[in-house]
Amino acid sequence: MFENIISPEQQQALHQLLADKKRIVLTCHISPDGDAIGSMTAMASVLRRLGHDTTCICPDNFPDFLMWIPGAKDMLVYNRSEQRTQAEQVLREADLVCMMDHNATSRMNELGAFVDSLTAPRIMIDHHPNPDTGCAVTISRPGMCAACEVLFRLMWQMGWASDMTLDEAISIYTGMMTDTGAFTYNSNRPEVFEIIAKLIARGIDKDRIYRNVFWTQSADRLRLTGFLLYVNMQILDDYHASIITFNNKERRHFQTRNGDTEGIVNMPLQVAGMKLSIFLRQDTENPQNIRVSLRSVDDFPCNEMSARYFNGGGHLNAAGGRLTCSMDQAVEIAKRAIKDFEAQLRA
C-alpha cells in the first residue's frame, strides 16, 4: 500500500543494528513539540517490542499539554540538574542513539555536545532538510509532514506496523496532527490521510487527542493570548507580516506554564492577506537569549529567513531560531528581515 522509504541497503543496515538486544537512547530537538515527543515515545515502544532497553532524553522541558502522551512522563530532561547525571550515565552505556525529529546534534544544544562525545552509532529518523550525514542510518524525508509520518512509513516497510500498539498509534497521530496545525498545512497528500485511516482502525480517538492538545488551556493562558494579540502584536500591513513579543516580566505576571505560548505564532495568519508571523520570546534562563518562531502561508520561505537572520532553520512554512540580544534589538532584526524579504511578502 505504501512505497518503501529506505533502500534495501539501508533496511539491511537497520536490521543489523537491531539484530541483538541493545541499550538504546532516543533524543529529540530543543523545545520539544508534539512531533518530537510523539516520534520518541512511539519509536521507544517499537524498540521495546523488539526486545531492546530504551530511554528517551529531551534536551529541555516540553509543554505540559503533551504530558498525557503515553510514555512522556518517563522521559529524562537533560537541562534539569537532578536528571542530568542519570541522563549522561544512560548515554555512556548506550549501544545506539536514535535521533528523532532533528537533523543534527547541534539541534540538541548541550545534550548534542554530549552525544557527540560518544562512540555509539546513531540512527536518524527525521523530516528536516539538510540532514547531518554522520549517522549509521539516515532516514530523512523532508517532503513528509512530520517525523511521525516518516516513522509510520518505516514501521510499515520493516514489518513493525502489523503489531502496532494503541499507544504507538496515539503518539504517531499526535505528532502528525501537531506538526500540521491539525492538518491545515503541509498535509495535502493522500498518503497522510491513508495513514490516519490506519491509525483510526488501530483504535485511536482522534477527537479526544485534539482536545488533549488544543482544549486544555488554563484561564491564565486565555488571558495571556488576549494580551499578546491586543497589546504586543505589531501588524506591518504593507508587508503582510506581524511581530509578537513576550518578555519574562509578562511571563511571571501571567504565571505562564510550559507550552502556554504554543500555537500563538499561528494566530496572526488568520488576518486576511497575512503571509508571515514572527514570535519573539525571552528565554527564561538567559534574558539575553531570544527564541524566535516563524510561520507563513503559501510559498513564503520561513526557513530561508530563519537561516539568514535568526541562526536557525526549519521548513518552508514553519521555522525557528535564536538571537543573543535584547528584545528591542530582536524586534529591529525582525523588521530588517521583513524588509529584506519585501518582494516575496508583497507578491
pLDDT of residue 185: 84
What values do phi and psi take at 217, rounded to 5? -80, 150
Q: Across residues 183-194, what is the average pLDDT?
A: 93
Locate 215 and state its grid cell. Answer: 482544549
pLDDT of residue 329: 97
pLDDT of residue 29: 94
pLDDT of residue 286: 79
Q: What is the pTM of this model?
A: 0.87
HEC letters along 214-232? HCCCCHHHHHHHHHHHHCC
Is residue 310 predicted with pLDDT exceeding 80? yes
pLDDT, one tens digit per residue, over 60-98 is: 999 889 999 999 999 999 999 999 999 999 999 999 999
**Burial class of 117 by CB neighbour count within 10 A (0 to 12, 13 to 18, 19+):** exposed
Calpha distance 217→171 (Å, rounded): 20
**CATH code, 8-213:** 3.90.1640.10
pLDDT, one tens digit per residue, over 240-280 is: 999 999 999 999 999 998 788 988 999 999 999 999 999 99
pLDDT of residue 339: 97
Calpha distance 23→84 (Å, rounded): 18
At 135, is the pLDDT very low, low, confident or very high (cuts 50, 70, 90)?
A: very high
pLDDT, one tens digit per residue, over 209-246 is: 999 998 888 899 999 999 999 999 999 999 999 999 99
Is residue 147 predicted with pLDDT exceeding 90? yes
pLDDT of residue 248: 94
At 132, is the pLDDT very low, low, confident or very high (cuts 50, 70, 90)?
A: confident
pLDDT of residue 67: 95
Helix axes 302-309, 327-340, angle to 10 degrees: 130
pLDDT of residue 1: 77
pLDDT of residue 273: 96
Domain boundaries, the chain: 8-213, 220-346
CATH architecture of 220-346: Roll (3.10)
